Copies of this chain bind each other. A is one copy, B any other.
Amino acid sequence: MLAIGTLAKRTGTKVQTIRYYEQIGLLPEPGRTEGGQRRYDDNDLDRLAFIRHARQLGFTLEAIRELLDLSDNPSRSCAEVDVIAHRQLKEVEARIARLEALRKELKRMLRECSRDTVSDCRVLEVLRDHSACLADHDTGA
């Protein structure tokens, strides 16, 4: 049986985050000692490791909730998992595309900076006048 701090260390999670996951129903309520401290077993460890790993891959907690639901019903179709993972891939690719447009624009802005006083700074000028932009850009997230 693991105390919350041990679980935290083993999974690279903060203690508060574990309690937060419990609060939002992502982790089940664990058993407690007589004094009221949480105690975890290997199932909890696996589940938390799964969550952390999925988070590192950028899945939202909602997506992770769906994945855990599917994972809890081994007879269901893998296609549903596939859909979620594909959705995540699409989101990641969209974010990359937006960021590359930003990068291009920022680089262009910096290349053109005359480096004198602010009054003739190209960076500020570009920011002031969107129409000077070559690319469409939008952080989106």
Contact = CB atoms under 8 A, between A and B. Distances in A.
Contacts of A115: 78-79, 82
B57 A102 contact: yes
Contacts of A80: 118
Interface string A23-43: 000000000000000000000
A106 B92 contact: yes
Nearest to A55: B139
Interface in A87-119: 88-89, 92-93, 95-96, 99-100, 102-103, 105-107, 109-110, 113-119
SS of A interface (majority): helix
Interface residues of A, number: 56
Interface of A: 46, 49-50, 53-58, 67, 70-71, 73-82, 85-86, 88-89, 92-93, 95-96, 99-100, 102-103, 105-107, 109-110, 113-121, 123-124, 127-128, 130, 137-139
